[in-house]
Amino acid sequence: MSLKKDLFSGVFYTAVARYSGLIVSLVIAGVLARLIPPEDFGVVAVATVIISFFGIFSDLGVGAAVIQNKILTDGDLSKIYSFTVWTGVLLAVLFFAASWPIAAYYEKSILKSLCQWLSVNLLFASVNIVPNALLHKAKRFRFLAVRNLVVQVGGGAVSIVAALCGAGLYALIVNPILSSVLLFVLSYRAYPQRLRPTFGLDAIRKIFSFSAYQFLFNAINYFSRNLDKLLIGKCMGMTPLGYYEKSYRLMMLPLQNITHVISPVMHPVFSEFQHDLQRVRTSYEKIVRLLAFIGFPLSVFLWFAAQEVVLIIFGSQWMPSVPVFRILSLSVGVQIVLASSGGIFQAANDTRSLFVSGAFSATLNVAGILVGIFVFRSLEAVAWCICVTFTINFVQCYWMMYRVTFAKSRLSGFCRQLVSPLAVSGILVLLLGATTALTKDSPELVGILAKGAVFLLTLFVYLQVSGEYDILAKLKRKGNPS
């Protein structure tokens, strides 16, 4: 297949699963938000953040390195698989043992049993690394899409049943545990691996130069993405953390269901052209333009529709989440574009630049989080600081990519891709601002429908009139294929 066909095929199947899963995840989140109080969400958020830290050490950049390296033998893969299994066992035991000091630090005894149960998730996530990477490497995007959707529906249904049966906050950990087990079972059946009584260090050395920087990037990215939750839970309490975590997850939904449709496909596909960086750059700029046309206007819509979105999905008990979600939504456009950059650094075999860029980003994000929590002492301030740091990181990331990874290419080609998306976003600010004023006393459903209609109509007219995309001509060709 050509690069374009590979990308289209991968994005299509991933999109089908993602957008079907989006509906499922919104239903699940809405039901659980009405059955479980904000404080319980805060407690589980702490456990989830800490287990994510342990998960970094189970991966060590191995998954991305397996995708990138084209000369690994079956014997190498078996040894690398054994390494992930034994590492997963060790980390699961360590996380289980750490449950006592974690519960003591946060003064929440329930954290002990939550962490002990989640150690199962850590083990199966680790042993799934190699089979899952091989599925991506083989570009089996259709299988991955079906697998992920089935697991999401199954895990979510069990979580809801558990909550209805009175499981309380334990219902929130059913899905990640069950999902990790099912993902491993399905991946392993597709690519079974032989377990050996060895850490396979000779095979690990073959991918170390790539995986080492990938691991370091994952580690610093973890802190920049999760320090806010750890500190809010400790310094402000579990209930404020519950509100913040819900706002953050809601902000991440478009990011996960737009960028993550493309990003998992980019590394396997673009890595085939790692020796033709000009082709990678020009192809990527087209993706940037598409993502910017989605992300920047969406940021504007979410800012004006924040209250309706929160109340309709989660209910009135989550009203304190609205201001935080509104502020965080301003970063959605930047994050949607920025999240796609990792696949390019990987495909260009330049995880060193990925690490350097990530180190700068993490330092800035951590500084912003600390300022928001300890200087301004409010959730809204933390959200504003995150928006500012993401914007600065956006600039430095692409400067690094074009000056280093793409061998001193000019940024002008990249910047041109952002002009038109920013223009339509400016128009939307005016129109949605007026719509908000007109519908301020209307029911939430009426308000979001009106804003949604203005958002979609404005995008349609702009794309058609500006010549960015001739939608009417496309529809006519479909209606008259002859």
Q: What residue spans define the domains of the chain? A: 36-220, 236-482
> Is the overall model pTM greater than 0.85, yes or no?
no
pLDDT of 304-314, one tens digit each? Answer: 999 998 888 88
Contact 263, 16 (CB under 8 A): no
Contact 136, 144 (CB under 8 A): yes
Q: Which residue pairs, CB below 8 angstroms and at least 24 apart, start in 27-32?
A: 27/156, 28/156, 28/159, 28/160, 28/175, 29/249, 29/313, 29/314, 30/313, 30/314, 30/315, 31/160, 31/163, 32/159, 32/160, 32/163, 32/171, 32/172
Highest averaged pLDDT of the listed ranges 21-30, 407-416, 466-475: 407-416
pLDDT of 317-364, one tens digit each? Answer: 888 889 999 999 999 999 989 888 887 887 777 778 888 888 888 889
Query: Which pLDDT band holds residue 396 (cuts at 50, 70, 90)?
Result: very high
Of 293, 303, 292, the closest CA to residue 340 belongs to 292
Of 470, 469, 436, the closest CA to residue 450 belongs to 436
Q: Give the mean pLDDT of 422-430.
A: 94
Query: Which pLDDT band holds residue 109 (cuts at 50, 70, 90)?
Result: confident
The predicted structure's pLDDT at residue 53: 77
pLDDT tops 80 at residue 216:
no
pLDDT of 372-383, one tens digit each? Answer: 999 988 899 999
The predicted structure's pLDDT at residue 12: 57
- Cβ-Cβ contacts under 8 Å for 10 (sequence gap 6 or more): 139, 141, 264, 265, 268, 269
pLDDT tops 90 at residue 133:
no
Alpha helices for 165-259 (secondary structure H):
171-190, 201-235, 238-254
Token readout for 399 is 């400067």
Q: Which residue has the higher pLDDT, 478 or 283?
A: 283
Contact 63, 187 (CB under 8 A): no
Alpha helices for 107-170 (secondary structure H):
110-127, 129-137, 141-164
The predicted structure's pLDDT at residue 5: 59
Q: Give the mean pLDDT of 138-156.
A: 81
Contact 175, 155 (CB under 8 A): yes
Q: Give the mean pLDDT of 217-243.
A: 79
pLDDT tops 90 at residue 9:
no
| Phi/psi at 194 (5° precision) | -90, 125
The predicted structure's pLDDT at residue 16: 58
Q: Which residue has the higher pLDDT, 18 or 55?
A: 55
